[in-house]
Each structure stands twice: as structure tokens, then as C-alpha cells.
Amino acid sequence: MKIKIGVGIGITLGIIYYLFFSSSYEIKNAIPTGKNIICFGDSLTYGTGASKDMDYPSQLSRRIHMPIINAGVPGDTTETASRRIEDVLTQDPRIVLITLGGNDLKNGVSRDAAFTNLKFIVEKIQDKGALVILGGIDFPLFGRGFGDGYQVLAQQTGSVLIPNIFKGIFNKSGLMSDPIHPNDAGYAIMTEHFYKAIQPYL
């Protein structure tokens, strides 16, 4: 009996792991409708710290030889971005790349509140038939679980996930314009992260 109970618990845990932590899940709107590629987010989308036309949306546009709309607003949190979601929905979105959550983390917004807002944003965009690419932020020592939050949200919504857009950039003085924002070279690396995510869906 104890063996059967143990096996049952093991199977249950395995299912839970698969549902919530497996890297394999179905991407929603993998063949998107709509017309425009839009980058939606905060200062990392806007391009704070970058020279003219060296923000990541501009660099990505040149990389894929397609126009991209930059809908980044410095200082945006997930809450303020959710209130201007029409900036995306009214522009016939086809693929939307999102960088949000960093200001929530910095400002002490709870993880639950931040990811509730993000889920609302992602699902509103997906309801238009667009593919969502979610740019995660992962600071293991002081990230308050936000890194895991992006993983869970991507699987819940079927978004394409970049686990950490700062990978290879953060804390490298030659790639940062200040402690938070990349410089031109840093944004070039971020552009490559987004290029690898978007390329299969172009």
C-alpha cells in the first residue's frame, strides 16, 4: 500500500512538473494574424542609454529588414502599461515583443500583482491574433522570484520566452550606460536575444 501511495505521489509530482516547468509547450498564435511588429515596454524598449537609432527595436528592424513600431515608455510599470494597451491593440499587431516588469521589481511591486498585470496585457494582445514574445528579467540574488514568474506566465499563455534579456550584458561596464540600461553594444546583444526568438515566426 505504501509503495502504491508513493508511486501515486511520484506520478502526481511528475505531472505538476511537466505542466508548470517543462520547456516544451504550445505557442499560441504561432501563425499570427495582423500586420505590424510592435515592441511594447519600458525604458529598455524605448532605448534609454542608446544613441540615436541604436535602441533594440531599431537594431532588430535592421536585422530582420522589416519595420518595427517602438511603443516603449520610460518608467512604465506593468500597471501603467496595462492602461495604455490600446497603443498596441489599435495598430493591427502581428508580433508583439514585451519588456515589462523591471520597474515593478525596482519599485517593490509584488510579484503576484506584476504578473497579474502582465497576464492581462499578454492575453489582450493574443486576443487580437498576435504572437507574443516575452522578454524576461532574471536577477537570481535579488529578483524576488520574477525570473520564475516569466517562465510560468509564458507557459500559461503560450508566449515565446526569452528567459533573461540581460544575459551577457548586466554588470558588464563596457555594455552598460548606467547600472540599469545598456549602451549601444549592450542593446546589440539584447537585439540578438530577440532576433533568435522572433526569427522562426517571420
How far is it, in rounded angstroms, from Cα 45 to Cα 106? Answer: 17
Collapse the DSSP code of 149 into the 3-class scheme (helix H, G, I; strand E, B; otherwise coil) and give the result: helix
Q: What integer pLDDT is reported at residue 139 of this predicted model?
A: 73
How is residue 196 written as a grid cell?
A: 533568435
Q: What integer pLDDT is reported at residue 144 of this predicted model?
A: 74
Q: What integer pLDDT is reported at residue 11 of this predicted model?
A: 43
Mean pLDDT by groups of 10 residues along the chain of 202 residues: 43 42 80 97 98 98 98 98 98 98 92 97 98 90 79 97 95 93 98 98 96
- Global confidence as pTM: 0.87
Q: What integer pLDDT is reported at residue 143 of this predicted model?
A: 62
For 131, list phi and psi in degrees, rounded to 5.
-85, 135
Residue 136 burial by CB count (10 A; 0-12/13-18/19+): exposed, middle or buried?
Answer: buried
Q: How many CB atoms lie within 10 A of CB 33?
A: 12
| Plot region of 168 (φ>0 → left; ψ -120 to 50 → alpha; else → beta) | left
The yes/no answer on whether domain 27-201 falls in CATH 3.40.50.1110 is yes
